[in-house]
Structure 1
Amino acid sequence: MKDQLATLAERSRFDEIIDVRTPAEFAEDHLPGAINAPVLSNAERVIVGTLYKQNPFEATRVGAAMVARNLAQHLDTLFADRPHTWRPLVYCWRGGKRSGAMTAWMNLIGWRARQLEGGYKGYRRWVLDELDAAPARYRYVVLAGNTGCGKTRLLHALGAEGAQVLDLEGLARHRGSLLGAWPDAPQPSQKAFDTALVAALNGFTTERPVFVEAESKRIGLLHLPESLMQALRSAAAITVSASLAQRVAYLCQDYAHLFDAPADFAAKLARLTELHGKEALARWQALLAAGERAALFEALIVEHYDPAYRRSRPQIRASGETIQIAPAGDLNEVARQVLARFAA
């Protein structure tokens, strides 16, 4: 019923957002702040979908029984303590039967539930539109520099000083390099990353600059929108520099977890064989086997990371005015200097 529908723009008026899709669908992506109350489990959705191809009526009957049982379970547990004034917004894939069933029952109980018009599919269209439009709204300052120079540390220091920061590697759960995967934290899906990126962008004000690290178009397995890349190419830039010894120390801290699984580390290094040759690989893996962490990272900086940065620099380096900063000392003081220069 149309009077039970709400638009995406109205979502902030509700007490809670309920995603009734399967746990697998929810895990791939969902509206920010939503909770998962599936009316079909992962396995049940497969059963109903398979049966539908053979007998749509029987699939509808079986599915309705499953939905009823799951709804009852949620009403007895997840929603048992909700007050009579509760206003939930409910959605499924397209704003169809699954969310319609839960919305109808909630309203019969006496809650003021509404169904999200267009469901998740409509929300996803809005996210893609925002990815095209939102990046151009802001003025950026890009932190550029070689691997290990402390860009991420400076970005976090800027955030601690009250600056607007866009932590792309944090959103992607990846440091962007061959060795950049986070330990025990897999990357989100592309859809979930897009959702997080839109939420971050929409949290900024246009009155102050947004600080961000220089990135290639891909962070691990995830792609950045072309609209954001275009905005960063025309941004002001800060070149962050640090001594070789400081960079080695940073990498030893950031990648210490790699030495907990030396075989996996060696396998990652082996992927560089075609680029650097078997002799270089053998030397790096010998340093790894000997536990020579600093020597290994120094070799990787000099032989791999710096040459790679020089090759890619025209693509990932923003144009515009640059200043040199060496963040070997107090990064918060460096951040204050940067803000004094670029915050106006």
Structure 2
Amino acid sequence: MTREITLNDLMEAHEKKERVLVDVRSPGEFEEGSIPGSINIPVFDNEERAEIGTIYKQVGQEQAKARGLEIFSAKLPVFVEQLKALDAPISVFCWRGGMRSKAAATFTDFMGLDVNRLTGGIRTYRQWVVQALEDYEFSAQLLVLNGYTGSGKTAILRKLQEENEPVLDLEGYAGHRGSIFGQIGLVPNNQKKFDSLLITDLRRFKDSPYLLMEGESRRIGRVHMPDFLFEKKERAPQIFVKLPIDVRVQNILDDYHPDESKDAFLEAFSRIERRMHTPVAKDIRDHLEAGEFREAFKMLLVHYYDPRYEHSISRHEERNDVVIEAETLEEAYLKVKETLAQYTVKK
């Protein structure tokens, strides 16, 4: 009889780092979304899972079980050694808390490891994520870091993250930078992954006096920001960063490394080319094709991105939000930190 653990107990133990979470589904399923912080030690690889699924559909359940047992038995010694190497209490899970997690927990428990399995599997976790986001209520002050394209907002947020500041890294959750070029060099996440990462950090920062996020649009790459967060963002105080245009261009070059993805930039540019005046668009395309990215990005900022921000800037200034003017990214970062200091005491 395998021991089971409820989702609430598992989440509490995971947050306290008392148990290691092991997703025993196939690598393909794991990539589609899992519990943040879990590791993948699959019972079946992608091909084996597909084979068993075919047997189940074409022959029957018993034959599929028999083939699954045959495959898992052959790899059991290696599987057990992988779990042993974690040197910690373990909670395993599969999709519905069924055969795969039961087999994994049963055999490893027999070998003397401290192993239990999640009741209901990751399907239960996914249902919890959806409900948790629907029920979430802010107790912290939400602050929004905004600014022209290339103002180093993401770099500032990542540096604050390194200092354990309460940052909601929406672009990181989405695997996308939020612009027309935002997917270049990244692997975009699906909504399941985005939601899981978001609620994990919302819970992690539940006692923080403030939360800081970037001024994203409702859609970020392949995912959508939850309504409650988007509406809160629209009303939240803004910290608006202004940097010289040449500094912004350099920030973009440092972030995107366009010389490594020239074709991807040309393909992405084709999606906005028609929205621009023809002579300007042609000049930008010529620069991109010639690998003259500094010139291309400067023209994109002046003729495309900056005009789209003008209305936003005037709205922020009318609301008396904080506007930070700096000559370098480092100076902007330090001024953002000074601004955040006034929110460190929870009211």
TM-score (norm 2): 0.86
Match of 2:197 in 1: 196
Secondary structure of the residue aligned to 1:187 is: coil
Question: How has the CA–CA distance of structure 1 residues 197 and 317 changed in structure 2, closer, same or farther, with 3 Å as cutoff?
Answer: farther
TM-score (norm 1): 0.86
Mapped partners of 2:158, 2:301: distance in 1: 23
Match of 2:227 in 1: 226
Q: How does 1:1-344 map to 2 (within 5 A)?
A: 1=1, 4-11=3-10, 12=13, 14-56=18-60, 57-75=62-80, 77-80=81-84, 87-134=89-136, 136-159=138-161, 163-183=165-185, 185-255=186-256, 257-310=257-310, 313=312, 321-329=320-328, 330-344=331-345
Amino acid at match of 2:326: P
Q: For this pair of structures, how many residues does the alignment match?
A: 336
Question: How has the CA–CA distance of structure 1 residues 22 and 317 changed in structure 2, closer, same or farther, with 3 Å as cutoff?
Answer: farther
Q: CA deviation at 1:122?
A: 0.5
Amino acid at match of 1:78: Q
Question: How has the CA–CA distance of structure 1 residues 217 and 107 changed in structure 2, closer, same or farther, with 3 Å as cutoff?
Answer: same
Q: CA deviation at 1:321?
A: 4.4
Question: How has the CA–CA distance of structure 1 residues 97 and 332 changed in structure 2, closer, same or farther, with 3 Å as cutoff?
Answer: same
Question: How has the CA–CA distance of structure 1 residues 206 and 233 changed in structure 2, closer, same or farther, with 3 Å as cutoff?
Answer: farther
Per-residue Cα deviation, 1:89-144 (whole angstroms, up to 9, x for no partner): 12111001111112222232333321210101011111222222336343211112
Mapped partners of 1:162, 1:118: distance in 2: 33
Q: Can you give the 5+ residue segments of structure 1 that lack an aligned partner in the other structure?
A: none
Question: How has the CA–CA distance of structure 1 residues 102 and 181 changed in structure 2, closer, same or farther, with 3 Å as cutoff?
Answer: same
Question: How has the CA–CA distance of structure 1 residues 340 and 6 changed in structure 2, closer, same or farther, with 3 Å as cutoff?
Answer: closer
Q: Can you give the 5+ residue segments of structure 2 that lack an aligned partner in the other structure?
A: none
- The two structures, once aligned, show a CA RMSD in angstroms of 2.8
Secondary structure of the residue aligned to 1:132 is: helix
Question: How has the CA–CA distance of structure 1 residues 44 and 339 changed in structure 2, closer, same or farther, with 3 Å as cutoff?
Answer: same
103-112 or 209-218, larger mean C-alpha shift: 103-112
Q: CA deviation at 1:223?
A: 2.0
Secondary structure of the residue aligned to 1:79 is: helix
Per-residue Cα deviation, 1:189-226 (whole angstroms, up to 9, x for no partner): 33222222222222114341111110001222222222
Question: How has the CA–CA distance of structure 1 residues 158 and 41 changed in structure 2, closer, same or farther, with 3 Å as cutoff?
Answer: closer
Per-residue Cα deviation, 1:236-264 (whole angstroms, up to 9, x for no partner): 11222223333233333333x11333333
* 8 Å CA contact 1:161, 1:336 repeated in 2: no
